[in-house]
């Protein structure tokens, strides 16, 4: 297999023209004390990507997403979003420029129903969240937009159910709905199916894979069946460095990957 660090998979969705990189990192480094968790990371996510980030526990996958979103500041290197250098930009400003993420752990308001929660997120994006509770009926447009997002995620029939009563798989889809309410161009999903029974995780990824072709997706996932089914390109991280990257066929037939990752993984 040819390692493709810093290059765009040529086979992805036909022609990905140069210059259509949605998010990229160059030479990104991060250490916690003496522990190096990101080593010289070069990644390009082309517009419309369905990329997976895999690696053993502690490889630095979540750290890399935190660096991309601005929750962590790199010690060196550069992160660009739509060609703009966002390395020093606060997370909320990156969200405004179209970068959204979900977390490994459920971060929902359990007492709201999905329609209320997503409408609130839409109002937040529109800068009208302050008046949400005073005039709920006055937010018709926002409610309609929220319903459309929920319907896309196959949550239309659950929109009036209290979040805490939703099956866990649907709660995880609601988290993605909340991220979509920010109208992202790039969506980073940190183990979107974590904690969901194995038979339901495929459903989550099916819904995610069906999102707009213009949305650029990078997801962390430990279940290799899901990774090989839904990713068009896989980046393997080991010890904070890119070990290799390539198509699912290249990664699955790479003996090195099997040794460092598949043979030693603790999940799945």
d(CA 196, CA 201): 6
Q: Does residue 28 interact with ligand ATP by CB under 6 A?
A: no
Tell me phi and psi for residue 33, to 5 degrees: 60, -125
Considering only residues 4, 24, 63, 247, which one is a binding residue for ligand ATP as defined by CB under 6 A? 63
Give, for 62, the enclosing helix (H) or strand (E): helix 61-69
| 264 near ligand ATP, rule: CB under 6 A | no
Shortest reach from residue 53's CB to ligand ATP, in Å: 8
Residues with Cβ within 8 Å of 142's Cβ and at least 6 positions away in sequence, in order, are 119, 122, 123, 126, 128
Q: What does the angle CA 21 – CA 212 – CA 248 come to, to the nearest 5 degrees? A: 65
Strands (E), 90-171: 99-102
Out of 46, 60, 70, 98, point to the residue binding ligand ATP (CB under 6 A).
60
In the bound complex, what is the minimum distance in angstroms from residue 75's beta carbon to ligand ATP?
A: 13
Give the nearer residue to ligand ATP in terms of CB position, either 129 or 241: 241
190: left (phi over 0), alpha (psi -120 to 50) or beta: beta
Could you tell me how far CA 229 lies from the centroid of its own chain?
A: 17
CB of 244 to ligand ATP, least distance (A): 16
By the rule CB under 6 A, 75 interacts with ligand ATP: no
Q: Which of 22, 37, 178, 186 binds ligand ATP (CB under 6 A)?
A: 37
CB 181 within 8 A of CB 122: yes
Binding marks (x or -) toward ligand ATP, 158..197, rule CB under 6 A? ----------------------------------------
Where in 40-59 is the site for ligand ATP (CB under 6 A)?
55, 57-59
- End-to-end alpha-carbon separation of the chain, Å? 25
Minimum distance from residue 258 beta carbon to ligand ATP (Å)? 18
Binding positions for ligand ATP, rule: CB under 6 A? 32, 35, 37, 55, 57-63
């Amino acid at each position: 297999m040819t390692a493709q660090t810093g290059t765009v998979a040529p086979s992805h969705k036909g022609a990905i023209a140069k210059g259509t990189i949605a998010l990229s990192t160059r030479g990104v480094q991060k250490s916690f004390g003496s522990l190096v968790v990101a080593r010289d990371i070069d990644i390009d996510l082309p517009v419309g990507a369905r990329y997976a980030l895999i690696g053993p526990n502690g490889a630095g996958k979540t750290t890399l997403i935190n660096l991309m979103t601005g929750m962590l500041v790199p010690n060196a290197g550069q992160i660009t979003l739509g060609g703009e250098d966002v390395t020093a930009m606060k997370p909320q400003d990156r969200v405004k420029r179209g970068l959204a993420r979900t977390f490994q752990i459920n971060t929902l308001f359990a007492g709201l129903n999905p329609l209320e929660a997503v409408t609130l997120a839409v109002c937040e994006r529109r800068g009208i969240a302050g008046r949400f509770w005073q005039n709920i009926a006055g937010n018709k447009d926002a409610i309609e937009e929220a319903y459309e997002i929920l319907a896309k995620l196959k949550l239309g029939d659950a929109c009036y159910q209290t979040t805490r009563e939703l099956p866990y798989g649907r709660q995880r889809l609601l988290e993605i709905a909340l991220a979509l309410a920010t109208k992202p161009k790039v969506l980073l999903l940190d183990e979107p199916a974590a904690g969901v029974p194995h038979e339901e995780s495929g459903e989550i990824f099916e819904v995610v894979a069906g999102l707009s072709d213009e949305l650029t997706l990078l997801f962390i996932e430990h279940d290799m069946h899901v990774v090989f089914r839904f990713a068009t390109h896989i980046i393997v991280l080991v010890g904070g460095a890119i070990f290799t990257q390539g198509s699912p066929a290249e990664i699955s037939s790479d003996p090195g990957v099997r040794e460092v990752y598949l043979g030693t993984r603790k999940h799945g």
